[in-house]
């Protein structure tokens, strides 16, 4: 069979099977018996890749239970590109959303492609961080490529494609979305990357499955730490106790991947007046400053200063030293 015939057969098998387990039996064992239905065609802006195709992602090809085919809208990263998957809860905290954005931004600046699931919360923040860094990002859907889930992220999906990234799914056009598809797609999200980063994951979070899949696929998992009693980091702390790698700043992952930020990274833009004030204080300081000194110089609340300094440290904008904080 040539590729066009395989494509028609694959779509016909999906129409007959409706589910992945049944599809595998039909496609895997009786390919010649599948009736080719030439009226089943893909949209012009979409391609179907099989594991034996040269453009099929190599890391994804290696996982247990790889997809039998993936539908791609947009452009996949080159084979030598390093992919990092960033996931976490849909009900993320402000700190978690900021961390997802900033890690994706820094990793994107270093040349990584960011993979996530286009969901609310951490996923969306990670995609936006990559886009802000003008890096490629891949969204792995639990729905068919024409049914963006959630629908409110359709504009984000278009932005991903327009920026040189991709939307991928193993479910064909017209296939209805089922609850278990979200778990099923997580193995693809982790399978595309060398590293998976878990930002925030409370007990029962679907992001836990992505991290578990990564470990099963013999990939490395990084976790952000949280407060000892913060329920949003319940799974993070469990995985860290079991041997996951600790990430407190983007450079932890970059050093692991033997990558580094560009020598002249884009200038950081303060996100609020307090960040602007603290950065100005540190810029004018001749030596590292303590939290109390920063608060005193800016007439700021100590607790809010601590939160802002943590965010700026996560963003690799400032550095904490034994003597205090300073600009990088």
| pLDDT (average), residues 9-37 | 59
pLDDT per residue as tens digits for the range 125-151: 999 999 999 999 999 999 988 889 888
Query: How sure is the predictor about 28, in pLDDT bands with cuts at 50, 70 and 90?
Result: low
| pLDDT (average), residues 183-206 | 94
pLDDT value of position 27 = 62
- Any residues with CB less than 8 A from the CB of 22 and at least 6 apart, and which? 16
Domain boundaries, the chain: 1-41, 83-256, 273-327
Provide φ and ψ at 270, rounded to 5°: -55, 140
Q: What dotted CATH number matches 83-256?
A: 3.40.50.450
pLDDT value of position 112 = 97
Contact 185, 140 (CB under 8 A): yes
Fill in the DSSP letter of residue 31: G
Kindly indicate whether the domain formed by 273-327 is annotated with CATH number 3.30.70.20.
no
- pTM as predicted: 0.75
In terms of Cβ atoms closer than 10 Å to its own Cβ (0-12, 13-18, 19+), residue 65 is middle
pLDDT per residue as tens digits for the range 221-258: 999 999 989 999 999 999 999 999 999 999 999 999 99
């Amino acid at each position: 069979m040539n590729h066009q015939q395989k494509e028609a057969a694959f779509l016909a098998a999906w129409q007959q099977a409706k589910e992945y387990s049944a599809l595998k039996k039909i496609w895997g064992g009786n390919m010649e018996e599948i009736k080719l239905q030439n009226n089943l065609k893909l949209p012009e802006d979409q391609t179907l890749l099989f594991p034996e195709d040269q453009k099929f992602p190599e890391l994804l090809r290696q996982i247990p239970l790889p997809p039998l085919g993936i539908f791609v809208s947009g452009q996949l990263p080159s084979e030598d590109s390093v992919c990092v998957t960033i996931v976490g809860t849909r009900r993320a905290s402000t700190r978690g959303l900021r961390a997802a954005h900033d890690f994706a931004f820094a990793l994107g600046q270093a040349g990584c492609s960011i993979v996530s699931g286009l969901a609310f919360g951490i996923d969306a923040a990670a995609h936006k961080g990559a886009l802000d860094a003008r890096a490629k990002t891949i969204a792995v859907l639990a729905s068919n490529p024409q049914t963006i889930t959630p629908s409110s992220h359709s504009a984000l999906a278009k932005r991903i494609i327009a920026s040189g990234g991709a939307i991928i799914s193993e479910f064909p056009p017209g296939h209805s979305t089922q609850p278990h598809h979200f778990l099923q797609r997580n193995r693809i999200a982790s399978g595309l990357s060398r590293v998976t980063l878990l930002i925030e994951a409370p007990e029962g979070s679907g992001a836990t499955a992505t991290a578990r899949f990564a470990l099963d696929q013999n990939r490395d998992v990084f976790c952000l730490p949280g407060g000892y009693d913060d329920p949003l980091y319940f799974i993070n702390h469990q995985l860290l106790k079991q041997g996951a790698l600790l990430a407190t700043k983007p450079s932890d992952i970059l050093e692991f991947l033997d990558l580094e930020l560009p020598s002249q990274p884009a200038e950081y833009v303060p996100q609020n007046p307090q960040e602007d004030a603290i950065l100005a204080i540190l810029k004018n300081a001749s030596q590292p400053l303590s939290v109390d000194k920063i608060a005193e110089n800016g007439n700021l609340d100590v607790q809010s200063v601590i939160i802002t300094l943590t965010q700026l440290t996560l963003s690799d904008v400032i550095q904490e030293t034994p003597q205090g904080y300073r600009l990088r």
